[in-house]
Structure 1
Amino acid sequence: MFSHISLALTAALLLSTAFASKSADVNVLYNFGNSTWAENLAVRANGQILVSRLDKPEILQVDPTGANSPITVASWDSPTMSGCLGISETTPDMFYVITDGVYNADSVLTSGVNSIWEIDMSTFAVSKKTGAVVSNATVSKLVDITTSGLLNGLTTLTDHTILAADSHNGWVYHINTHSGDYKVAINDEKMKFDYFPNPTLNIGVNGIKVYDGHLYWTNTAAGTLNRIGITGKGTPVGKSEILANNVPKADDFVIRSDGTAFIAQNQVQGNELSVLYPKSHVAHVIAGSNTSTIVTGVSAGKFGRLQNDKHILYLTTGSSSVTMPGTVSWVDTTKI
Structure 2
Amino acid sequence: MAREMPLGIALLLLTVLLFKLWAEDLADLFTQSEVKSGLFKMLDPVSTIFQLERNGNIFENLMVSHSGAIYGTRFDAPEIWSVDPEKQTGYRLTIIPGVRAVMGIAELRPNLLVVAAGNFTPGSYQIWKIRLLPNTPAIKQVASIPEANWLNGLVAWDSDNVLVADSIVGAVFKINISIGNYSVAGSDVDTMTDGTSDGSVPPGLGINGIRVHDKYMYFTNAAQSIFCRVKINDDAYLFGHVEIIASGFSQDDFAIDDDGSAYIAAGDQNSVVRVTPTGNVSTLAGSLGAMDLAGSTSCAFRRDATDRRRHEDRAGKVLYVSTSGGVWEPVNGTAIEPGKIAMVHFVRELK
Asked if these proteins are the same fold (TM beyond 0.5), I'd say yes
Larger radius of gyration: 2
Deviation at 1:323, TM superposition (A): 3.8
- AA aligned to 1:57 is P
Q: CA deviation at 1:238?
A: 1.9
Tell me the residue number matched to 1:131: none
Could you tell me which residue of structure 2 aligns to residue 20 of structure 1? Answer: 38
Structure 2 contact 252–297 (Cα < 8 Å) conserved = yes
Q: Quick one: distance in 2 between partners of 1:175 and 1:236?
A: 14
Which whole-Å CA distance do the structure 2 matches of 1:74 and 1:113 have between them? 19
Q: Cα offset for 1:120?
A: 1.0
1:252-304 Cα offsets, whole Å, 9 max, x none, are 0100112111001113xx2221001232x231122223333221111111111
How far did 1:22 drift? 3.3
Q: What pairs with 1:100-119 in structure 2 (closer than 5 Å)?
A: 100-101=118-119, 103=120, 109=121, 113-119=124-130
3-state SS of paired residue (1:90)? strand
Alignment of 1:208-287 (within 5 A): 208-248=210-250, 250-267=251-268, 270-279=269-278, 281-287=279-285
Cα displacement (A) at 1:92: 1.6
The 3-state SS of whatever aligns with 2:298 is strand
Asked if structure 1 preserves the Cα contact closer than 8 Å seen for 2:41 and 2:346, the reply is no
Aligned amino acid, residue 49 of structure 1? I
Q: Which TM-score applies when normalising by structure 2?
A: 0.78
Q: 1:309 to 1:154 in 2, by over 3 A?
A: closer
Q: Which amino acid aligns with 1:304?
A: R
1:66 and 1:92 map into 2 onto residues whose CA distance is 21
The percent of aligned pairs where both chains have the same amino acid is: 28
Question: 2:103 corresponds to which residue?
Answer: 85
Q: 2:73 aligns with which of 25, 49, 52?
A: 52
User: Could you tell me whether the CA contact under 8 Å between 1:53 and 1:84 is conserved in 2?
Assistant: yes
Q: Distance in 1 between matches of 2:270 and 2:197?
A: 22
Amino acid at match of 1:313: L
Paired position in structure 2 for 1:177:
177
- Write the deviation string for residues 100-135 of structure 1: whole angstroms up to 9, x where unpaired: 21x3xxxxx27x7111100112x2x2xxxxxxxxx1
1:62 counterpart = 2:83: yes
The more displaced of 232-241 and 146-155 is 232-241
The answer to whether structure 1 residue 37 and structure 2 residue 50 are counterparts is: no
Describe the superposition over 1:173-211 as per-residue Cα deviations: whole angstroms up to 9, x where unpaired.
011111111111111131111169999970100000011
Aligned partners of 2:52 and 2:230: how far apart in 1? 37
Deviation digits for residues 301-330 of structure 1 (CA, Å, limit 9, x no counterpart): 111112798221111101436941100001
Residue by residue, what CA displacement relative to the aligned partner does 1:30-89 show, whole Å, maximum 9, x if unpaired?
11122210111111222111111111011111001125x3122211354xx221110011
Contact 2:195–2:206 (Cα < 8 Å) also in 1: yes
Cα RMSD, aligned residues only: 2.5
Cα distance in 2 between the residues matched to 1:259 and 1:152: 22
Distance 1:19 1:330, change over 3 A: closer
Alignment partners' CA distance in 2, 1:85 and 1:57: 9
Which residue of 87, 92, 95 maps to 1:75? 95
Between the aligned partners of 1:199 and 1:220, the Cα distance in structure 2 is 16
Q: What is residue 317 of structure 1 aligned with on the other side?
A: 323
Number of aligned residues: 294
Local SS of the residue matching 1:190: helix
For the pair 1:334 / 2:334, whether they are aligned, the reply is: no
Aligned equivalents of 1:113 and 1:200: distance in 2? 18
